[in-house]
Structure 1
């Protein structure tokens, strides 16, 4: 089956960026939001792995980075450094990151005491109730024994430790993709880092144990839109993700009539989506729970 047929079936598209020149032979694993992909470089070609599906891309002329293309399947894959962009059939995925790389830009925050860090590639700012501080000439190193843990030395008395482990905000319960610990003058202050939307965007989530031959599904994009299949009809609309939680805006759906079991499930799905105030993901990032306060109203499993 053609990859664009697979992706378009749930409304997805792909483009990547990683090295200025193609590795001679190397496999790099990326996270494009919640979507896991792998690029196997061999000379001027790339074997691209998305779930159980594999396709071949050929390197094209590019002003910067390394650009790979499969015109027939409408896949563009553009790599630069340890970041990548993926586009399939005209739809762009969330920024793809080498799983061993820390994002060039991210935020980290903690409570009791409150602190907020905004990290850029060339500077870092720290906000606290007692005052603000800016840092330059920061050193970033990966832990030798665990490439998914990083040490940022901000100055001789201040450091930030970041790890690619699921974290929950201690006040709101909002999940984040990284844990973080800020240490100042020997005092360690735990917190979370990264952006919550990277835990849900890009992937296809399929409803758990629906009992239907074709299960309801949902997919989130970075621009605040959401679309999916409710068990009978297709739907689309918007969602809002804040530091406090998740809510869905009014959804539009097609108006097909289906079997009674399908219509019952569809009604349950739409009623549940109206109640959602928060989300959570499993520790392996392969399950999604949509919640109304502390109660899970919908469960999904990542299928792609």
Structure 2
């Protein structure tokens, strides 16, 4: 299957730009418990995520838990409520509407209209599949993975296709629930790292699979980029 690339930011900003990000405190301590992550990083009970190829050229991601639709662009996230429509399904909220019937969809905002087609679906990660994991981020070339424990501020890193692995404490240095933004730093001075999580449409750059978060990991002077998803109990 051909690879679906995330489009340039200009078009995304014009049609589905996200909300402004509030400036959080420069340092937030986690204590002995894992932080509560923004809800926009999760499927909300939906079984799967769907990616959409849209015109003008850009990609969206949706999840459909019972009673609402969650929508992600490259610059934001929305929770839309069901609305009355003659055919298909329609959801509205925060000056965004999403209508779809089968594999076709139309997204409208005050900035314009997108015509979309469903491209790929991915089953959401579950706690049964990933016991003890609250958030999972991963990327390619070289393959890497970062998983956050659900019960304590602890992160497990797997780098270079699993040949390097370590589990480390972390501290939260930024947390913005409205913007869906989290920044974590190492809790140990001898093993520094930074993990940035941002709610927004993300497509795996090898498989094209859809995710609700973009993830950037910086460790040992190297930067790794990928996608991620919050995993609810």
Under a length normalisation based on structure 2, what TM-score does the superposition of the two structures give?
0.39
Under a length normalisation based on structure 1, what TM-score does the superposition of the two structures give?
0.31
Q: Which of 1 and 2 has greater Rg?
A: 1
**Greater relative contact order (Cα 8 A, min sep 6): structure 1 or 2?**
2
